[in-house]
């Protein structure tokens, strides 16, 4: 990229920008590779979480996130700060996750998941957010079982519905931010989110009835 090696003073300045994505982005746009590495370290876990929730596969999610940061670096010159950097980065993650799902569907000839289809749980599934410790072992097991059932229901959603609940309930983006990412009106986001939550409730009810 033709970036010059940063001096210790520059690196100290970069690391000192604890919560200033805008400052780091400005440095990257001037060719500072070290500043971009700070952005990667700061946001890669959250982007991996989003990609994993949308693709349902840890390896796919890792590849998506690699592509996300490559794309972000190549296109960071077009970032104008009209939205938060996190929102811009998450939009890239959502779009590349969609592309990955399309590639998988095309390659394997499978239809997208629906609530009427059985949910397949692969052995060795990697869960991004492990359950918290509880005083009682039984309580801990029950909590883990509940979390797994909720995640199974989320996996069973069509991708366009899954992304809404991931962005809102798991990543805490605003309706306005989600609308911008998915190119839909806030009212549509709220309506879709309501239907998704109801679908998850129905899914959980089915699971309980089958026990």
Asked if residue 72 lies in contact with residue 118, where contact means CB atoms within 8 angstroms, the answer is no
Please give the average per-residue pLDDT across 136-152, as a whole number.
60
* Residues 6 or more apart whose Cβ sits within 8 Å of residue 195: 161
| Phi, psi (deg, nearest 5) at residue 86 | -60, -40
Please give the average per-residue pLDDT across 144-173, as a whole number.
83
CA distance 25 to 73: 10
Residue whose token pair is 């400052």: 23
Please determine, for residue 16, whether its predicted confidence score (pLDDT) is greater than 50. Answer: no
- Per-residue pLDDT tens over the stretch 23-50: 999 999 999 999 999 999 999 999 999 9
Q: How confident is the model at residue 144 (pLDDT cuts 50, 70, 90)?
A: low
Residue 192's CB: how many other CB atoms inside 10 A? 19
Residue 199's CB: how many other CB atoms inside 10 A? 19
Please determine, for residue 88, whether its predicted confidence score (pLDDT) is greater than 90. Answer: yes
- Per-residue pLDDT tens over the stretch 177-203: 999 999 999 999 999 999 988 988 888
For the residues of 152-209, what is the DSSP string, one character each? HHHHTS-HHHHHHHIIIIIT---HHHHHHHHT--HHHHHHHHHHHHHHHHHHHHHHHH
User: Taking the complete model, does pTM exceed 0.75, yes or no?
Assistant: no
Domains and CATH numbers, the chain: 1-110 (1.10.1740.10), 112-211 (1.10.10.10)
């Amino acid at each position: 990229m033709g970036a010059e090696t940063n001096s210790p003073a520059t690196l100290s300045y970069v690391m000192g920008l604890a919560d200033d994505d805008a400052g780091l982005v400005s440095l990257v746009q001037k060719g500072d590779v070290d500043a971009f590495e700070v952005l990667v370290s700061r946001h890669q876990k959250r982007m991996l979480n989003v990609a994993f929730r949308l693709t349902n596969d840890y390896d796919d999610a890792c590849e998506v996130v690699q592509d996300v940061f490559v794309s972000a670096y190549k296109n960071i010159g077009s970032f104008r700060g009209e939205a938060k950097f996190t929102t811009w980065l998450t939009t890239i993650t959502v779009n590349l996750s969609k592309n990955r799902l399309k590639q998988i569907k095309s390659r394997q000839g499978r239809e997208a998941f629906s609530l009427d289809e059985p949910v397949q749980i692969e052995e060795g599934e990697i869960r991004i957010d492990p359950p918290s410790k509880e005083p009682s072992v039984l309580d801990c097991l029950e909590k883990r079982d509940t979390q797994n059932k909720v995640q199974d229901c989320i996996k069973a959603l069509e991708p366009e519905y899954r992304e809404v609940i991931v962005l809102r309930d798991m990543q805490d983006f605003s309706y306005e931010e989600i609308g911008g990412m998915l190119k839909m009106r806030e009212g549509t986001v709220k309506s879709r989110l309501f239907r998704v939550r109801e679908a998850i409730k129905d899914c959980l009810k089915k699971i309980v009835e089958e026990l």
